Amino acid sequence: MTLETVKQDFKSHLNKISAYQEALGLIFWDLRTGAPKKAIENRSEVIGILSSEVFNLSTSDKMAEYINELNANKSELDELTVKMLEECQKEFDRNRKIPEDEFKKYVILKSKSESVWEEAREKSDFSLFEPYLKELVETTKRFVGYWGYEGNPYNTLLDMFEPGVTVKDLDQVFGSVREAIVPLVKGIEKSTVKPDTGFVYKHFPKASQREFSVHVLKELGYDFDAGRLDETVHPFATGLNTGDVRITTRYDENDFRGAVFGTIHECGHALYEQNIDPALTGTPLSGGTSMGIHESQSLFMENFVGRHPEFWRRHLPALKEYSPEQFSDVSVEDFIAGINESKPSLIRVDADELTYALHIMIRYEIEKGLFNNEFEVSELPEVWNKKYKEYLGVVPSNDAEGILQDVHWSGGSFGYFPSYALGYMYAAQFKQAMLKDLPQFDEYIANGDIAPIKNWMTEKVHRFGKTKKPLEILKEATGEGLNAEHLIKYLEDKYSALYQLERAK
């Protein structure tokens, strides 16, 4: 067989894996957006069979042959094939260590757990979800055993979402962010500035919130010919292919912020996936390079664009059209003060920009503790509530607003949460670098001219998909490695101004 033939067969093999993943992506989207209840039982079987096939194709002897053959001729390969090869090898090495039947059981477990979690959350009853979470944690621990780890078992899980980041890094970086946030939170508590947020909680009909969300998505460059907006319990964006990147959101008729900022957040994720080089479609490189970089895109959109004062100078009039009574008396300044109110709270996704990181640190510490056998799944509600008291000074009154609030664990995602905080740092670093190329940043926002901003991100981040590693993208775009100082400075500037805080020198 010629090398050219091997390359072609390898490519077809990857196309097949990608096709199954696209079908699975649609199935998951459908399960969350409106599949009937009784569909789930057999659909879980379908998920099991398809995932198991993906697993087989990624770990098959055939794949081993491709990897060996291509590695033996690596110097003759084009760059793209090398990247695909490396991606496959990483996946191969990781998956080959898990017995097929265990993996299949795990996939079915995940699918069922998500449904059970939804029910448990509705009923605010952790005991319903507990046995599933326990099995998920045990399975994941067993998998870490198969994979091995360096330093800390949790490092292996972190590496799946943010290659190269370790518990040691996070303890350090999270430490310095915490040191900056805590005095700000205390300062805000003592500040005499108390933004009026009455308008936030006024009734805003779901249908109108949806219309406004669509309006904003269009302004931000989200391509509706390559996506759609639906409603779910837990909002997400999913890229089935670059021509089909779907967003979901959640509408609270008595607090429009969830839907509006949630939609803008998911829009950031979606712009990433819509703008990956289409030449990568059907390969394992057509996706975000890491969860942290992905999150940097959503947080950039949410905080640096969506909470920008100029953004609301432009969009408040439109918002007033969709809910006239609610906003008629609200000035732009009051609106900006109101939507940027910072106050310790219980629900992560509703948290403000400043205290959000504390929610992440709690989850990080819980996951780290779980995988270092510091406590059991059954103790989680207690541990959770204790940490909320300690970090944020608030205590959940039930499981739904505590331990059951996040979908992640029900999908087996452990090690994912820290990406949110890393995304914050990346986003602040991108913003810093972008300002050098686009000094008129504020003006673009004021004029609704988002294209230069989007194009910068596409040029520096989106288009590469997984052809570059997270720190490679960061370095090339900003000239630096991971650096928390830009985020810290941004938060200090912003909240000192909003709450007229004295700056410690």
By DSSP bridging, strand 244-249 and strand 229-231 are: parallel
The DSSP output letter for 300 is I
Contacts of 200 (CB under 8 A, 6+ apart): 255, 256, 257, 338, 339
The secondary structure of 457-504 as a DSSP string is HHHHTGGGTTSS-HHHHHHHHHSSS--THHHHHHHHHHHHHHTTPPPP
Residue with tokens 């096709």: 19
Query: Nearer to a copy of itself by C-beta: 3 or 35?
Result: 35
Does 41 bind a copy of itself (CB under 8 A)? Our answer is: yes
Per CB under 8 A, 108 contacts a copy of itself: no
Contact 499, 193 (CB under 8 A): yes
Which of the following is catalytic: 86, 114, 219, 266?
266
Does residue number 22 form part of the binding site for a copy of itself (CB under 8 A)?
Answer: yes
Whole-angstrom distance, CA of residue 21 vs CA of residue 234: 21
Q: Is 324 in the site for a copy of itself (CB under 8 A)?
A: no
**Which of 187, 221, 227, 258: binder of a copy of itself (CB under 8 A)?**
227
Tell whether residue 270 is a contact of a copy of itself (CB under 8 A): no
**Amino acid at residue number 426:** Y
Shortest reach from residue 122's CB to a copy of itself, in Å: 16
The one-letter code for the residue type at 15 is: N
Residues 158/147, Cβ–Cβ less than 8 Å = no
Q: Backbone phi, then psi, for 73, in 5-degree steps?
A: -120, 25
Instruction: Kindly state whether residue 14 participates in binding a copy of itself, applying the rule CB under 8 A.
Output: no
Pick the closer one to a copy of itself by CB: 194 or 228.
228
Q: Residue count at the site for a copy of itself (CB under 8 A)?
A: 39
Asked if 279 interacts with a copy of itself (CB under 8 A), we say no
d(CA 250, CA 210): 9
**Cβ-based neighbour number of residue 166 at 10 Å:** 16
Smallest distance from a copy of itself to CB 38, Å: 3
Stretch that binds a copy of itself, among 194-202, 219-227, 395-403, 458-466 (CB under 8 A): 219-227
Q: Is 35 in the site for a copy of itself (CB under 8 A)?
A: yes
In the residue annotation, 401 being an active-site residue is answered as no
Contact between 16 and a copy of itself per CB under 8 A: yes
- What's the sign of the alpha-carbon dihedral 298, 304, 306, 307? positive
User: Does 20 engage in binding with a copy of itself (CB under 8 A)?
Assistant: yes
The answer to whether 45 contacts a copy of itself (rule: CB under 8 A) is yes
CB of 432 to a copy of itself, least distance (A): 33
Give the footprint of a copy of itself on this chain (CB under 8 A). Answer: 15-16, 19-20, 22-24, 26-27, 30, 34-43, 45-46, 49-50, 53, 223-228, 240-244, 246, 281-282
Which residues form the catalytic set?
266
